[in-house]
Amino acid sequence: MSSPDTFETRNRPAGHRESRRFWPVRLPIGGCPASATVADDLGERSHRQRSSDSAPASPAAGFTLVEALVVMAIIGTLAALAAPSFNELIAGQRASNAAGSLHVALIKTRSEATKRNASVTLVPSAGGWKDGWQVLDPRDSTALDSFPATTGLTISGPASVIYQGSGRVQGSAPAFEIISTALPDVKRCVSVDLSGRAFVKKGAC
């Protein structure tokens, strides 16, 4: 079936060929149509969303009740093991402090005796050596120096210690034994030799 005869076809020269026009299609960067790029982008987003939805949730931070009980049990065991050593440390420190204080008092008494060239006496407080001690002035028996009472200790020793002006002790060499009331095995010894020098040692006298 022939095409209808029109004015254009009738007036075309012989041998004329009809040219067809092709309109260019603009492609986005990358060579793919814009619709394809948008589709790929939507597909990728959908894939990411599905992946995040299917990912397993991370466990919550913190301790469970069983873990907390285990930790508390371990702490209690360690505290029970450390308690005896801690008590012994405190008792030993108290005994050492009392022995050091008594040693200083003996040195003070000897120094006052040699300085004054007179006999100076170290005496316990009214309740005994555990309640403290004093260095007495030989002229009027007033206290030249006083030392406080001890805590958690028993102290056995002579009724007094008298230093002569020569720096030697009067009578036999005195000794003091300091014992912890909580742990009787914790002991300190303060002794004085005949020349008047005082010494401290760990253990019984």
Name the pLDDT band for 49 (thresholds 50, 70, 90).
Answer: low
pLDDT: is 6 or 101 the higher one? 101
What's the pLDDT score for residue 161? 96
* Residue percentage of the chain with pLDDT more than 90: 54
Taken in order of first residue, the domains within the chain and their CATH numbers are 83-202 (3.55.40.10)
Residue 166 is predicted with a pLDDT of: 95
Q: Looking at residue 68, what is its pLDDT?
A: 83
- Which letter does DSSP use for residue 169 in this model? B
pLDDT the model gives residue 61: 63
H or E element: which one contains 78?
helix 65-116
Instruction: Label residue 136 exposed, middle or buried (CB < 10 Å: 0-12, 13-18, 19+).
Output: buried
* pLDDT tens digits, 102-155: 999 999 999 999 999 999 999 999 989 999 999 999 888 899 999 999 999 999
- Rounded to two decimals, the pTM is 0.61
What confidence category does residue 53 fall into, taking pLDDT thresholds of 50, 70 and 90? low
Beta bridge partners of 128: 125
